[in-house]
Amino acid sequence: MNPSPEESARELLEVIPVVMRDIRSQMRSRRSPDLTVPQFRALGFVDRNRGSSLSDVAYHMGLTLPSTSKLVDGLISRGLMAREEHPDDRRRLKLAVTRRGLSTLETSRRATLAYLSAKLGNASGEQRELIVGAMGALRSIFSATAYREQGVK
């Protein structure tokens, strides 16, 4: 079977939200109870994108700069995130997750990974092989697209 791009797109639109809803639900249920979901998402983004700016976080979160600044200030005041000077431009700041923030993220990630591993334990070896291959293909396709859309080569 050789599905068309439209059939592939239809499957993505149907399946990815179901998977992400399950993952988000698990991550939320395993996050620190005193951490809001937007705070958790901001921590995760900065961890995955070291050296991010406030603008980067705002864009990712779909928030205004003032809203993002307030959210980040709360994380900084709790010792979960830190602002650092940019090495090339003193006027710019970059964000970093602190050890305490990393610990908070890792607790949630480990529990969610255990949940997903158990769920995928019900799949056959062949199914898991297909999943890993598909994820590699999606990463390759969508990473390249994201860079092209941002003008990065």
Q: Classify residue 27: in a domain, yes or no.
A: yes
Q: Which CATH number characterizes residue 51's domain?
A: 1.10.10.10
User: Exposed, middle or buried: residue 31 (CB in 10 Å: 0-12, 13-18, 19+)?
Assistant: buried
pLDDT > 50? residue 59 = yes
Q: Classify residue 110: in a domain, yes or no.
A: yes
Number of domains in the chain: 1
Query: Considering the entire predicted model, what is its pTM?
Result: 0.67
CA neighbor of 80 nearest in space, from 30, 23, 36, 28: 36
Q: What is the pLDDT of residue 108?
A: 81
Q: What is the pLDDT of residue 144?
A: 62
Which residue segment(s) compose the domain that 110 sits in?
5-122
Q: Classify residue 29: in a domain, yes or no.
A: yes
Q: What is the pLDDT of residue 153?
A: 37
Q: Classify residue 153: in a domain, yes or no.
A: no
Q: Classify residue 98: in a domain, yes or no.
A: yes
